[in-house]
Amino acid sequence: MTLKEFKNKLKAIEKQGFIRSKRKNNTGIGYTLETLLDIKENNIKLPDLGKIELKSKRKNVSTFVTMFTFNSGVWKIHQSDVIKTYGYKDKQKRKALKCFVRVTPNAQGLYLKVTKQALQMYHTDKTLIAEWDAISLLQYFSAKLPSLILVLADTRRDENDREEFHYNEAYLLKTPSKTGLLKLIEQGFVVVDLRMHLKSSGGVRNRGTAFRVEEKNLIQCFTEKIKLL
């Protein structure tokens, strides 16, 4: 479908008012919208724009969403040493390091520092742990999420406590912003999510160092915002 056809579908959905969730868990907002749009996954193929990711958000709730993961070549210390030095024992009794890192130190003493050239992760003992080149960071962000459509909905509960959605606001977001991304990191709205532990063999299990943003601030990561609804 074209962008115009997609906009018309959104307008038709908006006119339906509150729609009962087609799934009981938190993923209901996305699944319900995909069902109404008659798409099978959260990617839309528009001939005039290409393949675009579709995200939906509850207006009254702000959660973190993963923008991309970026691990390769950033570690200044071997990851196993980072876990051994700054980690803790998780519920499985493994040495682990699973936490959000912001510009202010967290419980593990880790924090982010933003410069014009790079994003750096330090410990309060002044050890440089990881570093992302600012240009590479933007290029990676641009490659992973060059554009997206964000659809927002008001929510309520029916008499059976089933969630309902009124999809009534939508934007096409294009051209990832280096300035916007680094500014959101400085403001603490974009965080680095460490997700690693030591395996019994002594090796590192890393699920990907993720850059995550509060949904309400996702719009600020892009330079172009086109209102669709």
Residue-wise pLDDT for 129-141, tens only, equals: 999 998 888 888 8
- Residue whose entry in the numeric block shows the structure tokens 């907002």: 29
Q: DSSP state, 220? A: G
pTM attached to this predicted model? 0.79
Average of pLDDT values for 185-192?
A: 91
Residue-wise pLDDT for 6-60, tens only, equals: 999 999 999 999 999 998 888 899 999 999 998 876 667 665 566 788 889 999 8
Provide the CATH number for the domain around residue 181. Answer: 3.30.70.3570
Residue-wise pLDDT for 51-84, tens only, equals: 788 889 999 887 888 888 888 889 999 999 999 9
Average of pLDDT values for 162-187?
A: 90
- Residue 150, domain extent: 3-227
- Beta-carbon contacts of 53 under 8 Å, excluding residues fewer than 6 positions away, are 42, 43, 44, 145, 147, 148, 149
- Distance between CA atoms of residues 208 and 72, nearest Å: 10
pLDDT of residue 121: 97
Total domains present in the chain: 1
**Residue 66 · residue 212 · CB < 8 Å:** yes
- Distance between CA atoms of residues 90 and 96, nearest Å: 6
Q: Which residues on neighbouring strands pair with residue 201, listed in sequence order? A: none
